Structures are given as C-alpha cells and as structure tokens.
Amino acid sequence: MLFAVKMDVHLPADMDPDVKADILAREKAYSQKLQKSGVWPHIWRCAGQYSNLSVLDVDDNDRLHEVLSQLPLFPYMNIEVTPLATHPSDIALLEQDS
C-alpha cells in the first residue's frame, strides 16, 4: 500500500556540527536500508528545498507511522502524508487484464 510523503527538514541554526553530521549519517543509512528492502521505493529531492518527496510501501498505517517516526530527522521534520490508490488510467491495470 503506497503513501506519498513530503518531508521538510528544519534544523536549528545553532545545531552542533558533530551532532548534525551524526544525525544525517544515520538518516541516510536508515533511508537506504528501507529503500533496499522495498519499503521506500521512491525518494526525490524537491529542487531548491531542504525537502524530499517520497513514496513508501507499507502494509498498513501503523507500519507507516513506525517507519516515519523512527527517522533520525523526525523531530526536525514537517511531514505531510497522502494515501495513494490505484489510478483507473494506470497502464499497469491493462497489463493485469491481459
């Protein structure tokens, strides 16, 4: 089940550089582990923003919250979630029919 997730990052201006580097490294590792496992199939940078648009593939809403709330950057993010359904014009439906 897919969800579009827009994540805006707001780091405090006076954040300790080592703390910041550590969080960003853990965020990257966490994201890549989920990408490899298929939970996080798409991640794009919104050009000119400290934001990403992602698509997550999870079994249910509880799992969605678990995945997002464990993001190392979660306390510094503003997050918007949009549940996605199959679009009736999606050509993947044509392939299923055939």
Output the smallest distance, CB 69 to a copy of itself, in A: 8
Residue 5 backbone zone (phi > 0: left; psi -120 to 50: alpha; other: beta): beta
Output the smallest distance, CB 21 to a copy of itself, in A: 14
**Do 42 and 54 meet the contact criterion of CB atoms below 8 Å apart?**
yes
Output the smallest distance, CB 26 to a copy of itself, in A: 11
Which structure tokens are listed for 29?
A: 């590792």
Which structure tokens are listed for 59?
A: 């079994």
Which structure tokens are listed for 8?
A: 């805006």
Alpha carbon 3 to its chain's center: 9
Q: Which residues bind a copy of itself (CB under 8 A)?
A: 1-5, 11-14, 27-28, 31-32, 35-36, 42-50, 52-53, 55, 60-62, 64-66, 68-69, 74-76, 79-91, 94
Q: Which is nearer to a copy of itself, 75 or 98 (CB)?
A: 75
